[in-house]
Structure 1
Amino acid sequence: MKILFVGDDWLGSNARSLAEGFRHLGHEVMVIDSTAATLPPRLSPSWLYAKSHEQRAPWTVDRVHQRLERAGAELRPDLVFGFKSVHLDQRRLLDIPAALHVHYSPDDVANPQNTTPDYLAHESEWDLVVTTKRHNLRELMARGAKETLFVRSAYDPAWHHPAAKRTTRQYLVGFIGACRPDRRDGMVSLARTYGAQLLVAGPGWRRVRRLRTTRAEVRPGVFGEDFSMTVASVTANLVLLNSDNRDTHTCRTFEVPAAGGLFVGERTDEHAELLDDGAEAFLFSSRDELDDILERCALFPDQATKIAEAGYRRIVEGGHSYADRAREILNALD
């Protein structure tokens, strides 16, 4: 197939990984980067416009569409694939000539932050709407979606794989992910308990003053292979969910084990289906349970390593790469 793919194409982005998944299957893929429109640089004119108008700057959106339309005319795609393209002009996307138009959302499509009025007005015109949230399927159908598909998140072998350590320091517990209101208090509490044994890496954490006053190591976000290098320096890698997205699994569900890290995550039915608690990962439902897990990891590091190795095998042998997800989507189209 010839696939015209539009999504945020920065290093380590899930959109780039999925596009490469289609290419890995042998399809011809043309990627158009939407980052300039969807994630404008802080304090740029486009950023200021988005903040004051609650929509993306029309001049950056138009530039993305001009590139899309030129690419469409040259490629003559069989499939137009939009990766969370809700901030683009839906009419112009759907009018690009192709046999199929597919929209993919990695986030909860019932959360208003993950949609726009323009997207909702045209959602029913997409041939297939793909979601990583099983609970979205019924909601999408109720909104009038033509066809829907649930696929889980995934890992990218190019970025997520066991990596050599870049430091002699080993942290007992670590979290790699964005600072969110529902995570802040818990992370500060962990920092006060574990101090220098805790590593926190991700956007926004350095602005949390209560966290900076602890002995925890606080770093900016890590992407691409830097993610796997960071996982290598942590014994117990936390997998925390996004309550705004009603997550029951997340990208980290696959990325942490694929990078060789010990998965220590919130207990959900999906996590329990994917990894065997106590043999391939550790699941927790409370802070007391998490503390018990971390004490066990500190006392028995060799056992923690064996469980991490079992989790690695379960994920990488279980068909959870982005190429596997691309195959699921194309099979649904067939």
Structure 2
Amino acid sequence: MNYKIIIIGNTSQSYQLGSIFTRAFQELNILFDTNNTSCNYYAPSMKQSWGKIFFKISGKRPLEWWSFNQKIVNCINEFSPQVVLVTGIFPLTNEVFDICSKIGTKIVNYLTDYPWNPNHRSEFFLSNLKKYDLVISTKTKILSELIKHEVKKVHFLPFAYDPFLCHQPINVSQVEQDLFKADISFIGTGDSERIPFLDAISSSNGLNLKIYGTAWDRLNLKKWQKLPAVFEHEFRLAIYFSKLSLGIVRKRNKDESTMRTFEIAACGGCGIYEDTQEHREILAGYPDYGFFTSPEDLANKCKWLLNNPTEREEMRNTGMKIIIKDTNTYTSRLKTILDLCCE
């Protein structure tokens, strides 16, 4: 592909979405440049208390935001890309959109969150939406809201998996196996919306329950081992050595599927997923007992599955067969994005 692309996204760690797309660029031999939106990279003021205060009063924009946007403008002007790809909720100045329009560059947002969620809401980002040539959402439920917000072109494109990050673990020691073994595990950020599901599971006695992620300490969660967030090799271990991995969506974020929808099976795990239309479509052919409709249904199915290893193995193998395909990778998602830009 004879493309030049600039990505505006978090490329600070290998598991960030910006980094995932850079690997897709490399796989397709696309010439690219990056603008790393990690505050640790471009906004050192955020390490100071006064910087955090400034961020809050300036509408979730750090002190360096203006100069960083000017750097983006200069990068676009010098690199002359066909496409600028922005990942997630990151506000841009009007000058960024103006330079794209001037030189005929398509500017696209791959939107993985619900921008009207109070936790994510940025008025400056919301004002950007109608200026994008294309907004791609991983959530079918918000397409109508984006259209009402006068976005020029919207398209649903689900999450995917990155084979570099998501595969069965290799070179695993016995110590690691013992450390990550679990009956049931969940990987995700602490959220009160998830507590009823987790509490229903913990009503059963004698289970090895592990939860990985930040912000769980502030929540009253019984019988679950609260463990730090896991990435890369440890992420794969946590999924692979758990008898069941949970796929719980967040309704406040308008989720019907998540990154875990793809990542659990790609890492060789056995997933049990919240019963949504997107999950049913993405995981077409998955056993009915691999979906749950309520906390009680989840608890009952987990109890049954833990006592039926043959059915668990069927779920694991079926999930891998459904998910581990080239069409479910981020490289495939990138191809779709570029095709949409050409329409």
Aligned 8 A contact 1:80 1:96 in 2: no
Query: Is 1:94 aligned to 2:97, yes or no?
Result: yes
Cα distance in 2 between the residues matched to 1:40 and 1:240: 35
- The count of aligned residue pairs is 329
Q: In terms of mean alpha carbon deviation, does 182-191 or 263-272 score higher?
A: 182-191
Corresponding residue SS for 1:15: helix
Equivalent residues in 2 for 1:2-13, closer than 5 Å: 2-11=4-13, 12-13=15-16
For CA contacts below 8 A with separation 6 or more, give which structure has more relative contact order. Answer: 1
Equivalent residues in 2 for 1:251-290, closer than 5 Å: 251-276=259-284, 279=287, 282-290=290-298
Q: Report the alpha carbon displacement of residue 312 of structure 1 after superposing the two structures with TM.
A: 0.9
C-alpha distance 189-229 of structure 1, shift in aligned 2 (>3 A): same
Aligned 8 A contact 2:210 2:226 in 1: yes
C-alpha distance 174-106 of structure 1, shift in aligned 2 (>3 A): same
C-alpha distance 43-313 of structure 1, shift in aligned 2 (>3 A): farther
Query: Is 1:32 aligned to 2:35, yes or no?
Result: yes
Corresponding residue SS for 2:204: helix
- TM (normalized to structure 2)? 0.86
Query: Is 1:304 aligned to 2:308, yes or no?
Result: no
Cα distance in 2 between the residues matched to 1:292 and 1:192: 10
Paired amino acid for 1:60: E
- TM (normalized to structure 1)? 0.88
Paired amino acid for 1:200: I
* Aligned residue in 1 for 2:79: 75
C-alpha distance 54-310 of structure 1, shift in aligned 2 (>3 A): same
Aligned 8 A contact 1:104 1:131 in 2: yes
Corresponding residue SS for 2:135: strand
Unaligned runs of 5+ in 2: none
Aligned 8 A contact 2:6 2:84 in 1: yes
Query: Is 1:122 aligned to 2:128, yes or no?
Result: yes
Paired amino acid for 2:183: L
Query: Is 1:321 aligned to 2:321, yes or no?
Result: no
Cα distance in 1 between the residues matched to 2:330 and 2:24: 5
Q: In terms of mean alpha carbon deviation, does 31-40 or 76-85 score higher?
A: 31-40
Cα distance in 2 between the residues matched to 1:269 and 1:38: 40
Query: Is 1:47 aligned to 2:52, yes or no?
Result: yes
* Aligned residue in 2 for 1:202: 213
Q: Report the alpha carbon displacement of residue 323 of structure 1 after superposing the two structures with TM.
A: 0.7
Cα distance in 1 between the residues matched to 2:207 and 2:196: 18
Paired amino acid for 1:167: Q
Cα distance in 2 between the residues matched to 1:256 and 1:39: 35
Cα distance in 1 between the residues matched to 2:137 and 2:236: 26
* Aligned residue in 2 for 1:176: 187
Q: CA RMSD in A?
A: 2.5
Deviations 1:101-146 (A, max 9, x none): 1122111244354443223333222111111111222222222111
Aligned 8 A contact 1:202 1:221 in 2: yes
Q: Report the alpha carbon displacement of residue 313 of structure 1 after superposing the two structures with TM.
A: 1.6
Q: Percent identity?
A: 23
